[in-house]
């Protein structure tokens, strides 16, 4: 794995290097070029002046040339050479006159063209220029001027050194900043990775301490949200497993106790034995109901997409009523229905039955002797409503938030005695949400509870009716 720090520093170093190389090369070469240009115009101009002054002489003789040069006052040149048309040196302030010159530029200029040359060493700018001298159209010789500029060379050299020094300082500071920045960044990333590992190890209570407002902080906050949700889910899962085991354990223990009693008692009369067997049957029935409800819940949890079909809530309510009538009669509870036609929702018939049945069953079960239940199905502009109101014992306000949780019962003893597992309303809740609906619970005036369920009203294209 390549560390981000190495990548970051490498990247910054590369960018920096390019920048510094350009910084070192560009100003130097352009100022050098400028000086070359200046030299060229100065020295070629001067050589032309010398050539035109010499062209006035009858003959290029050493003395006459010296005189002209003296008059022209050519200070600042390191060497001045004048030759005749055959290359014989007439005047040379850096050597002897008389022989044929060996300076190639003079020989070239005797061929008829001017030659300029310039180069820079760390010590000096050397520039030279050779031009032919004409008198009345015919060449009579050549002039060669050579200059060594140490001052400018020193300036350029100092400039180069200053640039180098500045570059080194910029480079060092930038790398230092990159190092500090990447260390801080890396420390925060490591902290995040460490937290992820801690949470992955099962410590869902762990939270990352975040500060600032950049993307890493945002990442840290998102991580904390995720962990909080994980913690919540894990807590629910643990509670569910322990509640479910408890719910299953209780009837199993009763069955065990009852069957042990039958086995151990040698002289149990037939009547008692039948009573015990009937009790075993009840407990087994309770177990069966609980496991069936757990299966329903896990099916709703599974998120398996069932193809929705048009379900008439009136018909579902009539079916649920048929099943509940005996229980209502037993408790002397009157069920009044107000069912509008055409209240169709796009859902699953079994789920709708669970919803209506559980709500109505609760309304009867948690009612008072001689109480009543009012079931209403009606349609509004964009929704279908199911209202189940009862005149029963009611649900205390502080419990209303919890009654949709799995295994939650307001009055544990009473609910368990009536065979309730505390799963009915969770199934209702999950089924309502699965079909895009909402559920709310409130107090029924003057007494009891009221559950209001809404579903989105399907269009006639959806239902095909």
Ligand X SMILES: Nc1ncnc2c1ncn2[C@@H]1O[C@H](COP(=O)(O)OP(=O)(O)OP(=O)(O)O)[C@@H](O)[C@H]1O
Which residues here bind ligand X, judged by CB under 6 A? 293, 358, 362-363, 366, 390, 392-395, 403, 408-411, 415, 420-425, 449
Q: Give the nearest distance from C-beta 238 to ligand X in angstroms.
A: 20
Name the E strands within 121-264: 125-135, 138-149
Contact by Cβ (8 Å): 110, 142: yes
Quote the CA–CA distance of 125 and 35 in Å, as a whole number: 9
Kindly tell me which of 226 and 401 has the beta carbon lying closer to ligand X.
401
Kindly tell me which of 109 and 444 has the beta carbon lying closer to Mg ion.
444
Quote the CA–CA distance of 111 and 318 in Å, as a whole number: 124
366 binding partner (options ligand X, Mg ion, none; Cβ < 5 to 8 Å by kind): ligand X
3-state secondary structure of 114: coil
Q: Give the nearest distance from C-beta 402 to ligand X in angstroms.
A: 9
395 binding partner (options Mg ion, ligand X, none; Cβ < 5 to 8 Å by kind): ligand X
316 binding partner (options ligand X, Mg ion, none; Cβ < 5 to 8 Å by kind): none
Contact by Cβ (8 Å): 118, 39: yes
Would you list the DSSP string of 62-112? HHHHHHHHHHHT-TT-SEEEEEETTSBEEEETTS-SSSB---HHHHHHHTT
Kindly tell me which of 208 and 425 has the beta carbon lying closer to Mg ion.
425
As given in the structure block, the two tokens for residue 293 are: 């409800």
- CA angle in degrees (0–180, nearest 5) for 14-20-24: 150
Q: Give the nearest distance from C-beta 424 to Mg ion in angstroms.
A: 3
From residue 314 to residue 353, the character string flagging contacts with Mg ion as x (rule: CB under 5 A) and all else as - is ----------------------------------------
Q: Give the nearest distance from C-beta 368 to ligand X in angstroms.
A: 10
Kindly tell me which of 371 and 424 has the beta carbon lying closer to Mg ion.
424
From residue 352 to residue 391, the character string flagging contacts with Mg ion as x (rule: CB under 5 A) and all else as - is ----------x-----------------------------
Kindly tell me which of 39 and 293 has the beta carbon lying closer to ligand X.
293
251 binding partner (options ligand X, Mg ion, none; Cβ < 5 to 8 Å by kind): none
Contact by Cβ (8 Å): 49, 131: no
Kindly tell me which of 48 and 410 has the beta carbon lying closer to ligand X.
410
As given in the structure block, the two tokens for residue 171 are: 């480079």
Conformational region of residue 449, where left means phi above 0, alpha means psi within -120 to 50, and beta covers everything else: beta
């Amino acid at each position: 794995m390549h560390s981000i720090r190495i990548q970051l520093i490498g990247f910054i170093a590369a960018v920096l290097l390019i920048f510094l190389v350009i910084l070192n090369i560009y100003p130097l070469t352009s100022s050098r070029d400028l000086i070359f240009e200046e030299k060229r115009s100065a020295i070629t101009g001067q050589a032309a002046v010398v050539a035109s002054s010499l062209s006035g002489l009858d003959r290029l003789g050493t003395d006459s040339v010296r005189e002209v040069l003296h008059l022209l006052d050519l200070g600042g040149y390191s060497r001045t050479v004048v030759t005749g048309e055959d290359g014989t040196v007439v005047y040379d302030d850096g050597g002897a006159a008389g022989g044929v010159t060996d300076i190639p530029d003079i020989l070239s200029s005797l061929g008829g063209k001017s030659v300029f040359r310039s180069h820079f060493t760390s010590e000096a700018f050397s520039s030279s220029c050779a031009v032919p001298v004409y008198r009345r159209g015919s060449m009579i010789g050549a002039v060669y001027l050579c200059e060594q500029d140490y001052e400018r060379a020193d300036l350029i050299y100092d400039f180069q050194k200053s640039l180098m020094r500045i570059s080194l300082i910029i480079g060092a500071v930038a790398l230092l900043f990159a190092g500090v920045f990447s260390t801080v960044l890396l420390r925060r990333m490591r902290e995040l990775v460490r937290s992820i590992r801690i949470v992955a190890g099962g410590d869902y209570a762990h939270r990352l301490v975040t500060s600032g407002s950049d993307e890493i902080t945002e990442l840290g906050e998102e991580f904390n949200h995720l962990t909080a949700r994980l913690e919540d889910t894990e807590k629910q899962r643990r509670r569910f497993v322990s509640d479910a085991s408890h719910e299953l354990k209780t009837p199993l223990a009763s069955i065990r106790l009852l069957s042990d009693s039958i086995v151990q008692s040698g002289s149990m009369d037939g009547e008692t034995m039948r009573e015990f067997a009937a009790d075993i049957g009840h407990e087994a029935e309770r177990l069966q109901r609980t496991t069936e409800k757990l299966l329903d819940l896990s099916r709703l949890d599974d998120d398996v997409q069932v193809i929705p079909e048009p379900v008439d809530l009136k018909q579902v309510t009539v079916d649920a009523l048929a099943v509940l009538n005996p229980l209502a009669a037993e408790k002397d509870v009157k069920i009044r229905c107000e069912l509008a036609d055409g209240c169709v929702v796009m859902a699953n018939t079994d789920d709708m039955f669970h919803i209506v049945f559980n709500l109505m069953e609760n309304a009867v079960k948690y009612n008072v002797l001689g109480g009543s239940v009012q079931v209403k199905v009606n349609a509004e502009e964009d929704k279908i409503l199911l209202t189940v109101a009862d005149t029963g014992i009611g649900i205390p306000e502080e419990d209303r938030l919890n009654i949709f949780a799995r295994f939650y019962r307001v009055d544990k003893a009473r609910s368990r005695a009536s065979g309730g597992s505390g799963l009915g309303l969770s199934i209702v809740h999950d089924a309502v949400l699965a079909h895009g609906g909402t559920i709310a619970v409130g107090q029924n005036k003057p007494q009891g509870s009221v559950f209001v369920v809404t579903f989105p009203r399907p269009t006639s294209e959806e239902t095909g009716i």
